[in-house]
Structure 1
Amino acid sequence: MKLLRYGPRGQERPAAVAEDGTLRDLSSVIADIDPSTIAELGRVRAVDLASLPIVDPAERIGACIGRSGKFICVGLNYADHAAETGAEIPEEPILFMKATSAIGGPNDPIIIPPGSEKTDWEVELGVVIGRAAIHVAIEDAMNHVAGYCVINDVSERAYQLERGGTWDKGKGYDSFGPVGPWLVTADEIPDPQQLDMWLDVDGHRYQNGNSRTMIFGVAHLVSYISQFMSLQPGDIISTGTPPGVGLGQKPPVFLRPGQEIRLGIEGLGEQRQRTVAAAY
Protein backbone atom coordinates (compact mmCIF):
# COMPACT_ATOMS: atom_id res chain seq x y z
CA MET A 1 0.00 0.00 0.00
CA LYS A 2 0.97 3.59 -0.61
CA LEU A 3 -0.43 5.70 2.23
CA LEU A 4 -0.35 9.45 2.64
CA ARG A 5 -1.83 12.38 4.50
CA TYR A 6 -3.33 15.47 2.88
CA GLY A 7 -4.76 18.84 3.85
CA PRO A 8 -3.61 21.96 5.71
CA ARG A 9 -0.72 21.60 8.16
CA GLY A 10 -2.02 20.22 11.45
CA GLN A 11 -5.33 19.15 9.88
CA GLU A 12 -4.13 16.35 7.61
CA ARG A 13 -6.44 13.47 6.71
CA PRO A 14 -5.42 9.91 5.76
CA ALA A 15 -5.49 8.67 2.18
CA ALA A 16 -4.17 5.90 -0.05
CA VAL A 17 -3.13 5.60 -3.68
CA ALA A 18 -5.65 3.49 -5.63
CA GLU A 19 -4.74 1.21 -8.53
CA ASP A 20 -5.77 3.88 -11.04
CA GLY A 21 -3.39 6.38 -9.44
CA THR A 22 -6.08 8.49 -7.79
CA LEU A 23 -5.84 9.42 -4.12
CA ARG A 24 -8.68 8.06 -1.98
CA ASP A 25 -9.75 9.47 1.36
CA LEU A 26 -9.46 6.96 4.23
CA SER A 27 -11.19 9.04 6.91
CA SER A 28 -14.08 6.58 7.10
CA VAL A 29 -11.65 3.72 7.68
CA ILE A 30 -8.90 5.10 9.91
CA ALA A 31 -8.55 8.33 11.90
CA ASP A 32 -5.04 9.18 10.74
CA ILE A 33 -1.71 7.60 9.86
CA ASP A 34 0.15 8.08 13.11
CA PRO A 35 1.52 6.12 16.10
CA SER A 36 -1.97 5.33 17.41
CA THR A 37 -3.18 3.76 14.17
CA ILE A 38 -0.13 2.35 12.42
CA ALA A 39 -0.80 -1.10 13.85
CA GLU A 40 -4.27 -0.98 12.29
CA LEU A 41 -3.15 -0.61 8.69
CA GLY A 42 -4.41 -4.10 7.96
CA ARG A 43 -7.91 -2.63 8.03
CA VAL A 44 -7.06 -0.54 4.98
CA ARG A 45 -6.11 -3.62 2.95
CA ALA A 46 -9.63 -4.98 3.26
CA VAL A 47 -11.20 -1.84 1.80
CA ASP A 48 -12.16 -1.34 -1.83
CA LEU A 49 -10.30 1.91 -2.42
CA ALA A 50 -12.28 2.57 -5.59
CA SER A 51 -15.40 2.99 -3.43
CA LEU A 52 -13.88 5.82 -1.38
CA PRO A 53 -14.00 9.57 -2.15
CA ILE A 54 -11.36 10.93 -4.52
CA VAL A 55 -8.98 13.51 -3.07
CA ASP A 56 -8.63 16.70 -5.08
CA PRO A 57 -5.15 16.57 -6.70
CA ALA A 58 -4.68 20.23 -5.76
CA GLU A 59 -4.70 19.40 -2.04
CA ARG A 60 -1.47 19.87 -0.10
CA ILE A 61 0.29 16.61 0.73
CA GLY A 62 1.54 16.44 4.31
CA ALA A 63 4.15 14.24 5.95
CA CYS A 64 3.14 10.62 5.39
CA ILE A 65 3.32 9.82 9.12
CA GLY A 66 1.88 12.14 11.76
CA ARG A 67 2.99 12.86 15.33
CA SER A 68 6.25 10.93 15.19
CA GLY A 69 7.87 10.74 18.60
CA LYS A 70 11.45 10.49 17.34
CA PHE A 71 13.28 11.47 14.15
CA ILE A 72 16.56 9.56 14.27
CA CYS A 73 19.24 10.09 11.63
CA VAL A 74 22.33 8.16 10.61
CA GLY A 75 25.42 10.05 9.48
CA LEU A 76 28.07 8.99 6.96
CA ASN A 77 26.24 5.75 6.20
CA TYR A 78 27.20 5.52 2.52
CA ALA A 79 30.79 4.57 1.73
CA ASP A 80 30.88 6.81 -1.35
CA HIS A 81 29.43 9.78 0.59
CA ALA A 82 32.00 9.35 3.37
CA ALA A 83 34.71 9.39 0.70
CA GLU A 84 33.47 12.65 -0.87
CA THR A 85 33.55 14.40 2.51
CA GLY A 86 37.00 13.02 3.37
CA ALA A 87 35.63 11.16 6.41
CA GLU A 88 36.71 7.73 7.55
CA ILE A 89 34.27 4.82 7.26
CA PRO A 90 32.58 4.63 10.68
CA GLU A 91 33.04 1.44 12.68
CA GLU A 92 29.55 1.83 14.17
CA PRO A 93 26.54 3.85 13.00
CA ILE A 94 26.75 7.56 13.76
CA LEU A 95 23.45 8.68 15.27
CA PHE A 96 21.93 12.11 15.77
CA MET A 97 18.42 13.46 16.25
CA LYS A 98 16.47 15.75 13.99
CA ALA A 99 13.80 17.89 15.67
CA THR A 100 10.29 16.63 14.99
CA SER A 101 9.30 20.29 14.49
CA ALA A 102 11.38 20.15 11.29
CA ILE A 103 8.99 17.62 9.73
CA GLY A 104 6.97 18.88 6.79
CA GLY A 105 5.21 17.75 3.66
CA PRO A 106 7.18 16.57 0.63
CA ASN A 107 6.41 19.68 -1.39
CA ASP A 108 6.41 22.33 1.34
CA PRO A 109 8.93 25.18 0.95
CA ILE A 110 12.40 24.84 2.44
CA ILE A 111 13.19 27.86 4.64
CA ILE A 112 16.74 29.18 4.41
CA PRO A 113 17.65 30.40 7.93
CA PRO A 114 18.52 34.10 8.36
CA GLY A 115 22.16 34.63 7.43
CA SER A 116 22.64 31.03 6.29
CA GLU A 117 25.25 30.52 3.59
CA LYS A 118 25.62 26.73 3.79
CA THR A 119 22.17 25.14 3.60
CA ASP A 120 22.52 21.74 1.90
CA TRP A 121 20.42 18.85 0.60
CA GLU A 122 20.47 15.08 1.27
CA VAL A 123 18.12 12.53 -0.29
CA GLU A 124 17.61 9.68 2.19
CA LEU A 125 15.66 6.48 2.61
CA GLY A 126 13.28 6.81 5.55
CA VAL A 127 12.21 3.86 7.68
CA VAL A 128 8.98 4.12 9.70
CA ILE A 129 8.65 1.88 12.74
CA GLY A 130 5.45 -0.15 13.04
CA ARG A 131 6.01 -2.16 16.23
CA ALA A 132 7.87 -1.20 19.39
CA ALA A 133 11.46 -2.44 19.38
CA ILE A 134 13.94 -2.70 22.25
CA HIS A 135 17.08 -4.84 22.07
CA VAL A 136 15.90 -6.61 18.94
CA ALA A 137 18.15 -8.96 17.00
CA ILE A 138 19.09 -8.18 13.41
CA GLU A 139 17.19 -11.29 12.33
CA ASP A 140 13.97 -9.90 13.86
CA ALA A 141 14.48 -6.23 13.06
CA MET A 142 12.51 -6.09 9.82
CA ASN A 143 9.40 -7.34 11.63
CA HIS A 144 9.31 -3.94 13.36
CA VAL A 145 9.28 -1.90 10.12
CA ALA A 146 5.94 -0.57 8.90
CA GLY A 147 7.29 0.88 5.68
CA TYR A 148 9.52 3.30 3.85
CA CYS A 149 9.47 6.88 2.55
CA VAL A 150 11.56 9.60 0.93
CA ILE A 151 13.29 12.12 3.19
CA ASN A 152 15.27 15.25 2.38
CA ASP A 153 17.64 15.65 5.33
CA VAL A 154 18.18 19.38 4.81
CA SER A 155 21.25 20.56 6.69
CA GLU A 156 22.89 23.89 7.53
CA ARG A 157 26.56 22.92 7.37
CA ALA A 158 27.98 25.90 9.27
CA TYR A 159 25.55 25.22 12.14
CA GLN A 160 26.36 21.51 11.94
CA LEU A 161 30.14 21.62 11.69
CA GLU A 162 31.39 25.06 12.73
CA ARG A 163 29.32 26.02 15.77
CA GLY A 164 30.57 23.42 18.27
CA GLY A 165 28.79 20.50 19.87
CA THR A 166 26.74 17.92 18.04
CA TRP A 167 25.38 17.86 14.48
CA ASP A 168 21.83 18.49 15.72
CA LYS A 169 22.24 22.28 15.44
CA GLY A 170 22.42 22.05 11.66
CA LYS A 171 19.62 19.55 11.20
CA GLY A 172 16.55 20.75 13.07
CA TYR A 173 15.49 24.08 11.57
CA ASP A 174 11.81 24.37 10.68
CA SER A 175 11.16 22.79 7.24
CA PHE A 176 14.43 20.80 7.29
CA GLY A 177 12.62 17.42 7.32
CA PRO A 178 10.30 16.84 4.32
CA VAL A 179 8.82 13.33 4.66
CA GLY A 180 6.82 11.51 1.99
CA PRO A 181 4.83 11.73 -0.22
CA TRP A 182 3.94 8.14 0.61
CA LEU A 183 4.46 5.66 3.39
CA VAL A 184 4.99 2.56 1.26
CA THR A 185 4.30 -0.54 3.33
CA ALA A 186 7.18 -2.96 3.77
CA ASP A 187 5.55 -5.72 1.74
CA GLU A 188 5.87 -3.57 -1.40
CA ILE A 189 9.64 -3.12 -0.94
CA PRO A 190 11.12 -6.64 -0.78
CA ASP A 191 14.72 -5.37 -0.61
CA PRO A 192 15.32 -1.86 0.76
CA GLN A 193 19.03 -2.27 -0.08
CA GLN A 194 18.45 -2.12 -3.85
CA LEU A 195 16.73 1.24 -4.38
CA ASP A 196 17.88 3.91 -6.81
CA MET A 197 17.77 7.43 -5.38
CA TRP A 198 18.40 10.85 -6.90
CA LEU A 199 18.25 14.59 -6.26
CA ASP A 200 18.27 17.61 -8.63
CA VAL A 201 18.67 21.31 -7.89
CA ASP A 202 17.36 23.63 -10.62
CA GLY A 203 17.42 20.73 -13.06
CA HIS A 204 21.02 19.70 -12.36
CA ARG A 205 21.46 16.20 -11.01
CA TYR A 206 23.73 16.23 -7.97
CA GLN A 207 22.86 12.90 -6.31
CA ASN A 208 22.44 9.65 -8.22
CA GLY A 209 22.96 6.72 -5.88
CA ASN A 210 21.58 3.42 -4.66
CA SER A 211 20.85 2.13 -1.17
CA ARG A 212 23.09 -0.87 -1.80
CA THR A 213 26.10 1.29 -0.91
CA MET A 214 24.89 1.75 2.67
CA ILE A 215 27.54 0.76 5.17
CA PHE A 216 24.91 -0.39 7.68
CA GLY A 217 21.67 -1.71 6.18
CA VAL A 218 18.13 -1.18 7.43
CA ALA A 219 17.98 -4.34 9.56
CA HIS A 220 21.33 -3.52 11.16
CA LEU A 221 20.22 0.04 11.94
CA VAL A 222 16.90 -0.93 13.52
CA SER A 223 18.63 -3.51 15.69
CA TYR A 224 21.52 -1.19 16.57
CA ILE A 225 19.39 1.81 17.50
CA SER A 226 17.12 -0.38 19.63
CA GLN A 227 20.11 -1.13 21.87
CA PHE A 228 20.28 2.54 22.91
CA MET A 229 16.63 3.62 22.96
CA SER A 230 13.27 1.99 22.45
CA LEU A 231 11.82 2.47 19.00
CA GLN A 232 8.12 3.26 19.07
CA PRO A 233 5.41 3.05 16.38
CA GLY A 234 5.63 6.09 14.15
CA ASP A 235 9.31 6.80 14.85
CA ILE A 236 11.31 7.72 11.74
CA ILE A 237 14.85 6.59 10.95
CA SER A 238 16.62 8.53 8.19
CA THR A 239 19.31 6.16 6.98
CA GLY A 240 21.95 8.39 5.40
CA THR A 241 22.66 9.87 1.99
CA PRO A 242 24.63 8.84 -1.10
CA PRO A 243 27.29 11.14 -2.60
CA GLY A 244 26.51 14.41 -4.34
CA VAL A 245 25.65 16.74 -1.46
CA GLY A 246 26.53 20.41 -1.84
CA LEU A 247 29.31 20.17 0.74
CA GLY A 248 31.02 17.54 -1.41
CA GLN A 249 31.16 19.64 -4.59
CA LYS A 250 34.43 21.21 -5.63
CA PRO A 251 33.99 24.02 -4.81
CA PRO A 252 31.03 23.47 -2.44
CA VAL A 253 27.57 24.51 -3.67
CA PHE A 254 24.81 25.54 -1.27
CA LEU A 255 21.16 26.49 -1.51
CA ARG A 256 19.81 30.02 -1.79
CA PRO A 257 16.24 31.34 -1.91
CA GLY A 258 14.34 30.85 -5.15
CA GLN A 259 15.67 27.44 -6.15
CA GLU A 260 13.83 24.20 -6.90
CA ILE A 261 14.82 20.85 -5.39
CA ARG A 262 13.46 17.60 -6.82
CA LEU A 263 14.28 14.21 -5.35
CA GLY A 264 12.98 10.67 -5.31
CA ILE A 265 13.58 7.03 -4.49
CA GLU A 266 12.61 4.06 -6.61
CA GLY A 267 9.11 2.90 -5.66
CA LEU A 268 8.68 5.57 -2.96
CA GLY A 269 7.66 8.62 -4.97
CA GLU A 270 9.11 12.08 -5.47
CA GLN A 271 9.39 15.38 -3.63
CA ARG A 272 9.57 18.90 -5.03
CA GLN A 273 10.47 21.93 -2.92
CA ARG A 274 11.13 25.63 -3.46
CA THR A 275 13.65 27.37 -1.23
CA VAL A 276 12.48 30.58 0.42
CA ALA A 277 14.07 33.16 2.67
CA ALA A 278 13.01 33.17 6.31
CA ALA A 279 10.29 35.73 6.99
CA TYR A 280 11.84 36.88 10.27
Structure 2
Amino acid sequence: MRYHQLREDGAPRLAVETADGVYDLTAAKSRLRSFDDLLSAADIADQPIDAIADRLLADAATLSRETIDERRSGPPVSADEIWAAGVTYRISEKARQAESSKPDMYIDVYENDRPEIFFKATPNRTVGPDEAVGIRADSEWDVPEPELGIVLARGEIVGYTVGNDMSSRSIEGENPLYLPQAKVYDRCCSIGPCVRSADSIDDPHDLEMWMTITRDGEVRYDESTTTAQMVRSVEELTEYFVAHNAVPDVAVLLTGTSLVPQEGFTLQKGDVVEIGIEEIGTLTNTVVEV
Protein backbone atom coordinates (compact mmCIF):
# COMPACT_ATOMS: atom_id res chain seq x y z
CA MET A 1 0.00 0.00 0.00
CA ARG A 2 1.08 3.57 -0.75
CA TYR A 3 0.11 6.35 1.65
CA HIS A 4 -0.31 9.95 0.43
CA GLN A 5 -0.65 13.17 2.40
CA LEU A 6 -3.34 15.41 0.88
CA ARG A 7 -4.95 18.74 1.69
CA GLU A 8 -8.55 19.73 1.02
CA ASP A 9 -10.00 23.13 1.95
CA GLY A 10 -6.92 23.78 4.06
CA ALA A 11 -7.30 20.58 6.11
CA PRO A 12 -4.98 17.53 5.93
CA ARG A 13 -6.27 14.19 4.69
CA LEU A 14 -4.72 10.75 4.40
CA ALA A 15 -5.21 8.63 1.29
CA VAL A 16 -4.11 5.09 0.56
CA GLU A 17 -3.40 3.63 -2.86
CA THR A 18 -3.93 -0.09 -3.41
CA ALA A 19 -3.95 -2.32 -6.46
CA ASP A 20 -7.71 -1.66 -6.73
CA GLY A 21 -7.74 2.13 -6.43
CA VAL A 22 -7.19 5.17 -4.23
CA TYR A 23 -9.18 5.67 -1.03
CA ASP A 24 -9.73 8.60 1.33
CA LEU A 25 -9.03 7.13 4.77
CA THR A 26 -10.02 10.36 6.50
CA ALA A 27 -13.51 9.97 5.05
CA ALA A 28 -13.75 6.62 6.83
CA LYS A 29 -12.20 7.80 10.12
CA SER A 30 -12.21 11.57 10.63
CA ARG A 31 -9.45 11.50 13.25
CA LEU A 32 -7.12 9.74 10.81
CA ARG A 33 -5.64 12.73 8.97
CA SER A 34 -1.98 11.87 8.52
CA PHE A 35 0.42 8.98 8.21
CA ASP A 36 1.55 9.80 11.74
CA ASP A 37 -2.06 9.27 12.92
CA LEU A 38 -2.03 5.89 11.20
CA LEU A 39 1.19 4.96 12.97
CA SER A 40 -0.37 5.88 16.32
CA ALA A 41 -3.48 3.82 15.59
CA ALA A 42 -1.37 0.82 14.58
CA ASP A 43 0.68 1.13 17.76
CA ILE A 44 -2.42 1.25 19.97
CA ALA A 45 -4.06 -1.68 18.17
CA ASP A 46 -0.75 -3.56 17.96
CA GLN A 47 -1.38 -4.25 14.27
CA PRO A 48 0.46 -3.47 11.03
CA ILE A 49 -0.44 -0.19 9.33
CA ASP A 50 -1.80 -2.02 6.28
CA ALA A 51 -4.19 -4.02 8.48
CA ILE A 52 -5.60 -0.80 9.96
CA ALA A 53 -6.03 0.74 6.52
CA ASP A 54 -7.56 -2.41 5.04
CA ARG A 55 -10.31 -2.42 7.67
CA LEU A 56 -11.32 1.10 6.63
CA LEU A 57 -11.47 0.64 2.87
CA ALA A 58 -15.13 -0.36 2.78
CA ASP A 59 -16.14 2.96 4.37
CA ALA A 60 -13.59 5.13 2.54
CA ALA A 61 -14.53 7.34 -0.39
CA THR A 62 -12.72 6.57 -3.64
CA LEU A 63 -10.43 9.15 -5.23
CA SER A 64 -8.99 9.52 -8.72
CA ARG A 65 -5.31 9.39 -9.51
CA GLU A 66 -5.63 13.01 -10.69
CA THR A 67 -6.99 14.02 -7.29
CA ILE A 68 -3.87 12.63 -5.62
CA ASP A 69 -1.63 14.67 -7.92
CA GLU A 70 -3.68 17.86 -7.46
CA ARG A 71 -4.13 17.70 -3.68
CA ARG A 72 -0.80 16.25 -2.57
CA SER A 73 0.61 18.44 0.20
CA GLY A 74 4.05 18.46 1.76
CA PRO A 75 6.08 15.43 2.81
CA PRO A 76 4.09 12.19 3.16
CA VAL A 77 5.31 11.69 6.73
CA SER A 78 6.12 14.27 9.40
CA ALA A 79 9.48 12.90 10.46
CA ASP A 80 10.80 14.62 13.59
CA GLU A 81 14.31 14.01 12.27
CA ILE A 82 15.81 12.89 8.98
CA TRP A 83 19.22 11.24 9.04
CA ALA A 84 21.31 9.91 6.18
CA ALA A 85 23.93 7.30 5.45
CA GLY A 86 26.89 7.94 3.18
CA VAL A 87 29.38 5.96 1.11
CA THR A 88 27.04 2.98 0.83
CA TYR A 89 27.63 2.56 -2.91
CA ARG A 90 30.98 2.27 -4.70
CA ILE A 91 30.24 5.24 -6.98
CA SER A 92 29.50 7.53 -4.03
CA GLU A 93 32.80 6.53 -2.45
CA LYS A 94 34.60 7.42 -5.68
CA ALA A 95 32.72 10.72 -5.99
CA ARG A 96 33.48 11.74 -2.43
CA GLN A 97 37.16 10.87 -3.01
CA ALA A 98 37.22 12.98 -6.18
CA GLU A 99 35.81 16.08 -4.47
CA SER A 100 37.76 15.83 -1.23
CA SER A 101 41.12 17.19 -0.13
CA LYS A 102 41.36 14.08 2.11
CA PRO A 103 40.15 11.25 -0.15
CA ASP A 104 41.47 8.22 1.78
CA MET A 105 38.92 8.61 4.56
CA TYR A 106 36.06 7.67 2.22
CA ILE A 107 37.48 4.31 1.16
CA ASP A 108 38.00 3.58 4.85
CA VAL A 109 34.28 4.14 5.51
CA TYR A 110 33.24 2.10 2.49
CA GLU A 111 35.27 -0.92 3.66
CA ASN A 112 34.78 -0.68 7.44
CA ASP A 113 32.06 -2.30 9.51
CA ARG A 114 30.69 1.00 10.86
CA PRO A 115 28.76 3.03 8.25
CA GLU A 116 28.72 6.81 7.95
CA ILE A 117 25.46 8.09 9.46
CA PHE A 118 24.82 11.78 9.92
CA PHE A 119 22.02 14.15 10.84
CA LYS A 120 20.31 15.59 7.75
CA ALA A 121 17.17 17.65 8.38
CA THR A 122 14.39 18.82 10.67
CA PRO A 123 10.78 19.27 9.51
CA ASN A 124 11.29 22.97 8.75
CA ARG A 125 14.23 22.14 6.45
CA THR A 126 12.32 19.41 4.59
CA VAL A 127 10.03 19.79 1.57
CA GLY A 128 7.69 17.44 -0.22
CA PRO A 129 6.80 16.63 -3.83
CA ASP A 130 6.42 19.58 -6.23
CA GLU A 131 8.02 21.95 -3.71
CA ALA A 132 11.39 23.67 -4.17
CA VAL A 133 14.68 22.24 -2.92
CA GLY A 134 17.55 24.62 -2.20
CA ILE A 135 21.11 25.23 -3.28
CA ARG A 136 23.28 27.41 -1.05
CA ALA A 137 24.22 30.85 -2.33
CA ASP A 138 27.72 30.37 -0.91
CA SER A 139 28.33 27.11 -2.76
CA GLU A 140 29.80 26.63 -6.22
CA TRP A 141 29.07 22.93 -6.80
CA ASP A 142 25.66 21.53 -5.86
CA VAL A 143 24.03 18.22 -6.70
CA PRO A 144 20.95 16.19 -5.78
CA GLU A 145 21.47 12.75 -4.32
CA PRO A 146 18.62 10.26 -4.98
CA GLU A 147 18.17 7.80 -2.15
CA LEU A 148 15.87 5.13 -0.80
CA GLY A 149 14.42 6.43 2.46
CA ILE A 150 13.59 4.12 5.37
CA VAL A 151 10.54 5.27 7.36
CA LEU A 152 10.88 4.33 11.03
CA ALA A 153 8.35 4.30 13.85
CA ARG A 154 9.92 3.96 17.29
CA GLY A 155 13.00 2.53 15.62
CA GLU A 156 11.15 -0.13 13.60
CA ILE A 157 10.98 -0.14 9.79
CA VAL A 158 7.38 0.54 8.69
CA GLY A 159 7.83 1.83 5.17
CA TYR A 160 9.94 3.35 2.43
CA THR A 161 9.94 6.63 0.54
CA VAL A 162 12.02 8.47 -2.05
CA GLY A 163 14.58 10.96 -0.74
CA ASN A 164 16.68 13.76 -2.20
CA ASP A 165 19.75 14.51 -0.06
CA MET A 166 20.75 17.89 -1.49
CA SER A 167 24.49 18.43 -1.15
CA SER A 168 27.11 21.13 -1.60
CA ARG A 169 30.08 19.22 -2.96
CA SER A 170 32.30 22.31 -3.00
CA ILE A 171 31.81 22.97 0.72
CA GLU A 172 32.28 19.36 1.77
CA GLY A 173 35.21 18.96 -0.60
CA GLU A 174 37.02 21.90 0.94
CA ASN A 175 37.17 20.09 4.28
CA PRO A 176 35.24 17.00 5.51
CA LEU A 177 34.55 18.84 8.78
CA TYR A 178 32.29 21.14 6.79
CA LEU A 179 29.88 18.24 6.14
CA PRO A 180 27.08 19.70 8.33
CA GLN A 181 27.12 22.96 6.33
CA ALA A 182 27.21 21.02 3.06
CA LYS A 183 24.23 18.90 4.08
CA VAL A 184 22.07 20.81 6.57
CA TYR A 185 20.49 24.08 5.47
CA ASP A 186 17.16 25.55 4.31
CA ARG A 187 15.32 23.21 1.88
CA CYS A 188 18.18 20.72 1.98
CA CYS A 189 16.00 17.63 1.85
CA SER A 190 12.95 16.37 0.00
CA ILE A 191 10.95 13.20 0.60
CA GLY A 192 7.91 11.73 -1.14
CA PRO A 193 5.72 11.35 -3.06
CA CYS A 194 4.30 8.73 -0.69
CA VAL A 195 5.20 6.13 1.91
CA ARG A 196 5.13 2.56 0.65
CA SER A 197 4.49 0.14 3.49
CA ALA A 198 7.37 -2.19 4.28
CA ASP A 199 5.08 -5.22 4.19
CA SER A 200 4.14 -4.49 0.56
CA ILE A 201 7.73 -4.43 -0.76
CA ASP A 202 9.25 -7.84 -1.37
CA ASP A 203 12.89 -6.74 -1.33
CA PRO A 204 14.09 -3.16 -0.74
CA HIS A 205 17.53 -4.26 -1.95
CA ASP A 206 16.26 -4.98 -5.48
CA LEU A 207 14.55 -1.80 -6.64
CA GLU A 208 15.33 0.20 -9.76
CA MET A 209 16.14 3.85 -9.05
CA TRP A 210 16.50 6.67 -11.57
CA MET A 211 17.09 10.42 -11.73
CA THR A 212 16.47 13.04 -14.40
CA ILE A 213 17.60 16.68 -14.25
CA THR A 214 15.99 19.08 -16.70
CA ARG A 215 17.10 22.64 -17.44
CA ASP A 216 15.07 24.95 -19.69
CA GLY A 217 13.24 21.94 -21.08
CA GLU A 218 16.46 20.09 -21.94
CA VAL A 219 17.45 16.89 -20.14
CA ARG A 220 20.91 17.44 -18.67
CA TYR A 221 21.16 14.19 -16.69
CA ASP A 222 19.30 10.88 -17.03
CA GLU A 223 20.65 7.75 -15.37
CA SER A 224 19.37 4.72 -13.48
CA THR A 225 20.70 2.16 -11.03
CA THR A 226 19.44 -0.40 -8.55
CA THR A 227 19.48 -0.66 -4.78
CA ALA A 228 21.10 -4.09 -5.25
CA GLN A 229 24.41 -2.19 -5.59
CA MET A 230 24.18 -0.95 -1.99
CA VAL A 231 26.79 -2.63 0.21
CA ARG A 232 24.75 -2.09 3.39
CA SER A 233 21.33 -3.56 4.17
CA VAL A 234 18.47 -1.43 5.44
CA GLU A 235 18.47 -3.52 8.61
CA GLU A 236 22.17 -2.86 9.21
CA LEU A 237 21.80 0.89 8.68
CA THR A 238 18.78 1.00 10.96
CA GLU A 239 20.64 -0.93 13.66
CA TYR A 240 23.49 1.60 13.65
CA PHE A 241 21.04 4.53 13.58
CA VAL A 242 19.11 3.45 16.67
CA ALA A 243 22.08 2.11 18.67
CA HIS A 244 22.92 4.34 21.66
CA ASN A 245 20.75 7.06 20.11
CA ALA A 246 17.64 8.83 21.42
CA VAL A 247 15.71 8.42 18.17
CA PRO A 248 12.36 10.20 17.76
CA ASP A 249 9.07 8.33 17.44
CA VAL A 250 8.99 9.01 13.70
CA ALA A 251 12.16 9.32 11.63
CA VAL A 252 13.45 8.82 8.10
CA LEU A 253 16.87 7.37 7.35
CA LEU A 254 18.21 7.95 3.83
CA THR A 255 20.42 5.13 2.60
CA GLY A 256 22.98 6.73 0.29
CA THR A 257 23.23 7.34 -3.43
CA SER A 258 24.71 5.67 -6.48
CA LEU A 259 23.60 8.29 -9.03
CA VAL A 260 26.13 11.11 -9.15
CA PRO A 261 26.22 13.70 -11.97
CA GLN A 262 29.54 14.03 -13.73
CA GLU A 263 32.22 16.33 -12.34
CA GLY A 264 31.65 19.89 -13.45
CA PHE A 265 27.85 19.65 -13.40
CA THR A 266 26.15 21.83 -10.82
CA LEU A 267 22.49 22.57 -10.21
CA GLN A 268 21.10 25.97 -11.15
CA LYS A 269 17.99 27.89 -10.14
CA GLY A 270 15.01 26.66 -12.12
CA ASP A 271 16.30 23.13 -12.70
CA VAL A 272 13.79 20.31 -12.24
CA VAL A 273 14.93 17.16 -10.45
CA GLU A 274 12.91 13.95 -10.82
CA ILE A 275 13.85 10.93 -8.70
CA GLY A 276 12.00 7.65 -9.03
CA ILE A 277 12.17 4.35 -7.21
CA GLU A 278 10.39 1.23 -8.42
CA GLU A 279 7.26 0.32 -6.42
CA ILE A 280 7.29 3.67 -4.59
CA GLY A 281 6.94 6.53 -7.08
CA THR A 282 8.56 9.65 -8.51
CA LEU A 283 9.59 12.68 -6.46
CA THR A 284 9.73 15.95 -8.42
CA ASN A 285 11.23 19.22 -7.19
CA THR A 286 12.34 22.51 -8.69
CA VAL A 287 15.54 24.22 -7.53
CA VAL A 288 15.85 27.61 -5.83
CA GLU A 289 18.77 29.44 -4.26
CA VAL A 290 18.70 29.87 -0.48
- Is the CA contact 2:127–2:133 (under 8 Å) kept in the aligned structure 1? no
Alignment counterpart, residue 229 of structure 2, candidates 206, 209, 213: 213
Q: Determine if contact 1:156/1:171 at 8 Å carries over to the other structure.
A: yes
Q: Is the 8 A contact 1:129 1:232 kept in 2?
A: no
TM-score by length of 2: 0.80
Q: Which residue matches 1:15?
A: 15
Give the corresponding residue for 1:44. 53
What is the deviation of 1:5? 0.8
Q: C-alpha distance in 2, partners of 1:173/1:63?
A: 17
Q: Find 1:237's aligned residue among 238, 253, 257.
A: 253
- Which moves more between the two structures, 172-181 or 154-163? 154-163
The SS at the match of 1:82 is helix
Structure 1 pair 230/27, CA: closer, same or farther in 2 (3 Å)? farther
**Is residue 186 of structure 2 the alignment partner of residue 174 of structure 1?**
yes
Could you tell me which residue of structure 1 aligns to residue 270 of structure 2? 258
Q: How many equivalent residue pairs?
A: 261
Within the alignment, does 1:149 sit opposite 2:161 as a pair?
yes
In the alignment, what sits opposite 1:102?
A: 125
User: For the Cα contact (< 8 Å) 2:165–2:190, is it kept in 1?
Assistant: yes
Q: Which amino acid aligns with 2:2?
A: K
Q: For each residue in 1:13-54, what CA deviation from the matched residue of structure 2 results, as whole angstroms up to 9, or x when unmatched? A: 322124455463536421321278355233212122684253
2:6 matched to which residue of 1?
6
Cα separation, 2, equivalents of 1:155 and 1:35: 31
Structure 2 Cα separation of the partners of residues 146 and 35 of structure 1: 14
AA aligned to 1:121 is P
Give the helix-richer structure, 1 or 2.
Answer: 2
Q: Following the alignment from structure 2 to structure 1, what is the Cα–Cα distance between the partners of residues 251 and 21?
A: 27
Which runs of 5 or more structure 1 residues have no equivalent in the other structure?
134-143
- Picking from 78, 83, 87, the partner of 1:76 is 87
Partner of 1:34: 36
Aligned counterpart, 1:276: 288
Alpha carbons 2:147, 2:165 under 8 Å: kept: yes
After superposition, the Cα gap between the structure-2 partners of 1:209 and 1:49, relative to the gap in structure 1 and judged at 3 Å, is farther
Task: Give RMSD over aligned pairs.
Answer: 2.5
CA distance in 2, matches of 1:15, 1:63: 13
Question: Percent of aligned positions with the same letter in both sequences?
Answer: 25
| Segment drifting more, 120-129 vs 221-230 | 221-230
CA–CA distance in 1 between the matches of 2:58 and 2:163?
26
Contact 1:104 1:179 (8 Å CA) reproduced: yes
* SS of equivalent residue, structure 2 residue 163: strand
Q: For residue 253 of structure 1, give the secondary structure of its aligned residue in structure 2.
A: coil
* TM-score computed with the length of structure 1 as normaliser: 0.83
Q: Distance in 2 between matches of 1:4 and 1:97?
A: 25
Greater fraction strand: 2
Deviation of 1:59 (Å): 1.9
